[in-house]
Structure 1
Amino acid sequence: MTTPNPGVARGLCPAPFFQETLFGDGGFVEGRLCQKISDTLSCCMPCPMTDWAYPDSFQTLSIASGWVAVVSTVCCVFLLLSWIFLPVEKTNRHYMSICLTIGVVFMNLGFVIPLAARPNQCYDAITPNSMKTSSVCAASGTFLILGGWAGVMWVFLRSLSLHLQICWQVVVGRNFMWFSQAVGWGIPAIGIIVALVASGVSFRFGTTCHINHQNSLADLWIPLLVFAGLTIILQFATFGYCIKVYLASLADNAASTEGSGLPSYTQSIRTMTPRQAYRRVRRVIQLQWRGIAIVLIIIVDVIFFSVIFVFQDNTVQAVKDDQSIASGWIACLLTHNADKNKCLVEASALVVKEATVGAVLLLLGINGLWLALLLGRWSMVTGWGELFMNVPNRNKREFVSVDARLDDLKKDTLTPLSPIAKSSLRSPSASRDYTNYYNNLIQQENRIGGNIDGRRTPDYFGQTARYHTPARSFSSPRPPQTVTWDPQEAYVPAVKENVEEEGQSNSHYVNPLGMNRF
């Protein structure tokens, strides 16, 4: 696969065109832009076409959009790592946010991979590469379509979830989560398979591969726009309901709504007054406004990209079908000795404007930044700081319970007393010594591990609370019985001092608080 010498391969065609019959059938042949001169002569535009239809600044714009996608990918990776390693109170993670971020990462990889690999867009002087002749083309096109499908599906599911919660007062739970996973990843998987089999991808618009014209409307663009349209319908229906509830609350002067506002377990969507419904809707929107903004941004980007690319695709296909459309541009190139800069005005009628193309590429690449701004929190940054600061000082036994952190207590098992120890505990002095020893252990535990994450060790051995009979009680409960401890029970925490008094050595030092562990 070598590019022919332009001086030889041009044949009978004037510069900058090439004679088609001098090239083979390798690469994406359908991507050639040729014009038939006679029955035996057909001249084709050099590959890639964007180098001739756009000014040199178009390459700079393409590279800039790739670096924007790199920054966007870094932001998405930061969010994913934060959701994985930081506690939930630092991140407020949710499976819909995680899956949407993964979809945006896939979309960004469609721009990052060509930026890193710098692929050759052309198979030869007139033929672009396809997914069959370039692995970079196959990877970038697959990730771009898969990311677009995943982004549309997960914003649709997020919009559906919000609509069910606000308008229908449906509590979305585990069943909806499994339904979302099946739909949110199942439909993109089916969509990418159908798109690659029925249409395929090739270098048609910059360094990123896009879907080919054949069957593209049926297997990608129309289904994608259908789900995008459903998402917009759900969003506007939800907004309409919110406006209706707000207007109804303004006219609601019922005395029942001027109370304390405490929730009632008997309230439903039918018994709820307009002002109570407005309060509920307002609380949901206050919690979900970031998700609503993300839905609108992703949907606008996808629709904008779909419309622009379909328009560009149809324009190029129209030029191939009707040769008279490009006649003015071809005549200009022949007149000015293949100087494209003098013919950019004529070329503008054949392609989308450079500013519009730049806006599409930047909007697709900047989605990760929007996710970081709307779904990220400052607590994530502080959480990572706390995590790295605590790593050197972290105890190796971090996940051991509080009771086991006592340096003096080595095991939490219960050991049966020996006959000699049982006899020693029968004396009053031994019982008092054991009680004092036991109280000292409790105090030591409170000092060492009694306050972990805001929790204190409960007092399981406090005094029994007295029972006060209510003044208007019609029952006669029994007063609590006094519980006494029998030191002759079969299983009692082993006491090291009492065993050593009998001259026996015991290496098992048992935690007496272990019996309170569930």
Structure 2
Amino acid sequence: MAVNETEGCLAPFLNVRAFTDGGYTDGRLCAKFPSGESCCLPCPVSNWVYPDSFETMTTTANWVAVVGVVSCAFLLLSWAVLPVDKTFRHYLSISLTTAVLFMNLGFVIPLAAEPEQCFDKITPNSMETNSVCASSAMFLLLGGWAGVAWVFLRALSLHLQICWQLVVGRNFMWFSQVVGWGVPAVGVVLAFVLSGVSFRFGQTCHINHKNSLADLWIPLLVFSGMTLIIQFATFGYCIKVYLASLADNSASTEGSGLPSYTNSIRTMTPKQAYRRVRRVIQLQWRGIAIILIIVADVIFFSVVFVFQDTTAESVKNDQSIAEAWTRCIIFSGGNKTECMELAKPLAVNMPTVGAVLFLLGMNGIWLLLLLGRWTMFQGWRDLLISSPNRGKREFVSVDARLDDLKKDTRSYEMLSRDDSGKTMNESVTPSVVTPISPALVRSQMGSPNMHQDYSSTSQSGNGGNDGRRTPDFFGQTARYHAPARSFSSPRAPTSPQQATVTWDPRETYAAASPRGANDQQEDRYVNPLGMNRI
């Protein structure tokens, strides 16, 4: 025989026998009535113990999480696209940001999907009856677990560098990847198998009370506690080093903050150790702030939910706790506004729950403020504005680029455009010639053909009254004469005359010795590139 929903129960309570066993039945809030029937509050229970503004508050917190997702996505995209000198990326920062992104997705997915919180009028949905519940809880638990693990690894890395003077390397990186993602994966599996998730309050699914202390809350608190211990130990060491540096009056440490080559880094003086610690803290203060913020959020989140679970279980086990509120809600005809004061013992107060949800959603914003840099925005500006200009230059022809090289007076290379593919090491006459250097002119002045070349290039130009002949250094072509004593290839002198080492006073700018009539012919030549040389 079918049972009426209100048979044996007073409004707004409903008879449990009128419903099936689908959904998360342990999430029902029921009580025994004088009629002997088990009567339950309509689902969701949070609508009865919290005011109407509770739904608005949870929705607003979810929108804050959307901003956090955008912040994390911006950081991850910047680290992936921009160069490292613009972002200063590090695997600890990347992994922590990914973890916070997952945690915020646990609030964003329900906001977009708008899932049905109740399986029926008195039973909330669980991970087995609602896919959005399962996915949102998975991201929330995975992100929370990974966030705790990565802040622990970050604190451990900082502690090893400051307190033990150890340089964390590749081995620590692989160890971090195993711990940072392996432990959270195991934790999520245990939470789903041993406890399960369901709609507790709001549109995001949370872990159920059953076995939650053993498979989630205690491990999270243990990791958070170890992180705080390591962090405070690091702070204590820094304070100790600072106090020791105040008492150090050694004159040998005033000049430099770095240890000498003769001393080990472990035997540094107090002032040297203080300078090293101060530099590390100046570089890592953002990471330290992130560690403290996320650990504080996780501890606050864990304590609040443990207290919420304890309160809910106590109400189920001791109905006298809710007796005053039950009578009020019955006599008021289901008007919860009149009974809000009596509902306080039944759940955690709304400001505390709101603070937890807002703090969890703001973690992504904190990461952007602390890990983000102005150079990231400059890098995106350069990438979006300068890239089209750089792309246009890729289509410039080879001839145009050679013309640019001709105009560049800083270039002292001889470029070849020979179609035969020969290089300048082969016997190819170059088509683009840059000005000859003065050193080359001096090396060629000993050649018997040098004056002939100069006379041939100067007849049409500067045959002045003084008889001086100025060579045309900027003509269309210029011959290259290999020096007689060129050692570009390993070969012995071919004649005793070439083997004789001669001293040319013009190369050292010393006073010249008396010369004959043949040498006076060379006095008429003036090197225009060396006239103003000091």
- Work out the CA distance in 2 between the residues paired with 1:350 and 1:317: 10
Corresponding position of 1:353: 349
What secondary structure does 1:391 align onto?
Answer: helix
Is 1:175 matched up with 2:171?
Answer: yes
User: Shift of the alpha carbon at 1:394?
Assistant: 2.4
One of 220, 224, 228 as aligned partner of 1:224: 220
- Normalised TM-score (structure 1): 0.78
User: Shift of the alpha carbon at 1:100?
Assistant: 0.4
User: Shift of the alpha carbon at 1:40?
Assistant: 5.0
Larger radius of gyration: 2
One of 16, 19, 30 as aligned partner of 1:20: 16
* 1:201-252 deviation digits (Å, cap 9, x = unpaired): 0001211100011110000000010000000000000000000000000000
Corresponding position of 1:107: 103
Corresponding position of 1:50: 46
Is 1:301 matched up with 2:297?
Answer: yes
User: Shift of the alpha carbon at 1:372?
Assistant: 0.6
Query: Is the alpha carbon distance of 1:340 and 1:81 closer, same or farther for their aligned partners in structure 2, counting shifts above 3 Å?
Result: same
The answer to which of 30-39 and 153-162 deviates more is: 30-39
One of 120, 124, 140 as aligned partner of 1:124: 120
Contact 2:253 2:272 in 1 (8 A): yes
Q: Give the residue type in structure 1 aligned to 2:282.
A: Q
- Work out the CA distance in 1 between the residues paired with 2:238 and 2:395: 47
What secondary structure does 1:13 align onto?
Answer: coil
Corresponding position of 1:41: 37
- Normalised TM-score (structure 2): 0.76
- Work out the CA distance in 2 between the residues paired with 1:406 and 1:222: 71
- Work out the CA distance in 1 between the residues paired with 2:82 and 2:71: 16
User: Shift of the alpha carbon at 1:270?
Assistant: 3.6
Q: Give the residue type in structure 2 aligned to 1:278.
A: Y
User: Shift of the alpha carbon at 1:335?
Assistant: 1.5
What secondary structure does 1:393 align onto?
Answer: helix
User: Shift of the alpha carbon at 1:8?
Assistant: 4.8
The answer to which of 253-262 and 357-366 deviates more is: 253-262
How many matched pairs? 434
Corresponding position of 1:484: 488
Corresponding position of 1:148: 144
Unaligned runs of 5+ in 1: 444-460, 465-480, 487-518
Corresponding position of 2:498: none
Corresponding position of 2:204: 208
Q: Give the residue type in structure 2 aligned to 1:209.
A: C
Query: Is the alpha carbon distance of 1:14 and 1:406 closer, same or farther for their aligned partners in structure 2, counting shifts above 3 Å?
Result: farther
User: Shift of the alpha carbon at 1:265?
Assistant: 3.1
One of 50, 54, 59 as aligned partner of 2:55: 59
One of 312, 317, 333 as aligned partner of 2:313: 317
One of 160, 164, 170 as aligned partner of 1:164: 160
User: Shift of the alpha carbon at 1:416?
Assistant: 6.5
Query: Is the alpha carbon distance of 1:379 and 1:215 closer, same or farther for their aligned partners in structure 2, counting shifts above 3 Å?
Result: same
Corresponding position of 2:270: 274
One of 25, 31, 34 as aligned partner of 2:27: 31
One of 366, 369, 372 as aligned partner of 2:368: 372
Q: Give the residue type in structure 1 aligned to 2:9.
A: C
What secondary structure does 2:324 align onto?
Answer: helix
Q: Give the residue type in structure 1 aligned to 2:488.
A: T
User: Shift of the alpha carbon at 1:262?
Assistant: 4.5
- Work out the CA distance in 2 between the residues paired with 1:284 and 1:381: 25
Q: Give the residue type in structure 2 aligned to 1:315.
A: T
Is 1:246 matched up with 2:242?
Answer: yes
What secondary structure does 2:206 align onto?
Answer: strand
Q: Percent of aligned pairs with the same residue?
A: 65
User: Shift of the alpha carbon at 1:273?
Assistant: 0.5
- Work out the CA distance in 1 between the residues paired with 2:327 and 2:22: 29
One of 380, 388, 391 as aligned partner of 2:387: 391
One of 190, 202, 220 as aligned partner of 1:194: 190
Corresponding position of 1:70: 66
Q: Give the residue type in structure 2 aligned to 1:316.
A: A
One of 268, 286, 296 as aligned partner of 1:290: 286
Q: Give the residue type in structure 2 aligned to 1:143.
A: F
Q: Give the residue type in structure 2 aligned to 1:161.
A: S
* 1:463-501 deviation digits (Å, cap 9, x = unpaired): 99xxxxxxxxxxxxxxxx964269xxxxxxxxxxxxxxx
What secondary structure does 1:395 align onto?
Answer: helix
Is 1:338 matched up with 2:342?
Answer: no
Corresponding position of 2:463: none
Contact 2:257 2:276 in 1 (8 A): no
The answer to which of 375-384 and 29-38 deviates more is: 29-38
- Work out the CA distance in 1 between the residues paired with 2:402 and 2:145: 54
One of 60, 76, 81 as aligned partner of 2:77: 81
* 1:266-317 deviation digits (Å, cap 9, x = unpaired): 4335411000000000000000000000000000000000000110011001
What secondary structure does 2:85 align onto?
Answer: helix
Q: Give the residue type in structure 2 aligned to 1:299.
A: V
What secondary structure does 1:146 align onto?
Answer: helix
- Work out the CA distance in 2 between the residues paired with 1:286 and 1:411: 55
One of 248, 258, 264 as aligned partner of 2:254: 258
Q: Give the residue type in structure 1 aligned to 2:270.
A: P
Corresponding position of 1:515: none
Q: Give the residue type in structure 1 aligned to 2:147.
A: G
- Work out the CA distance in 1 between the residues paired with 2:283 and 2:188: 34
* 1:64-83 deviation digits (Å, cap 9, x = unpaired): 00100001111111111111
- Work out the CA distance in 2 between the residues paired with 1:482 and 1:266: 47
User: Shift of the alpha carbon at 1:255?
Assistant: 1.7
* 1:348-370 deviation digits (Å, cap 9, x = unpaired): 11111111111111000001110
What secondary structure does 2:31 align onto?
Answer: strand
- Work out the CA distance in 1 between the residues paired with 2:395 and 2:144: 42
- Work out the CA distance in 2 between the residues paired with 1:224 and 1:413: 72
User: Shift of the alpha carbon at 1:390?
Assistant: 1.5
Query: Is the alpha carbon distance of 1:84 and 1:14 closer, same or farther for their aligned partners in structure 2, counting shifts above 3 Å?
Result: same
- Work out the CA distance in 1 between the residues paired with 2:401 and 2:15: 83
Q: Give the residue type in structure 2 aligned to 1:238.
A: T
- Work out the CA distance in 2 between the residues paired with 1:13 and 1:217: 34
- Work out the CA distance in 1 between the residues paired with 2:139 and 2:321: 34
Query: Is the alpha carbon distance of 1:59 and 1:410 closer, same or farther for their aligned partners in structure 2, counting shifts above 3 Å?
Result: farther
Unaligned runs of 5+ in 2: 406-414, 444-484, 491-534
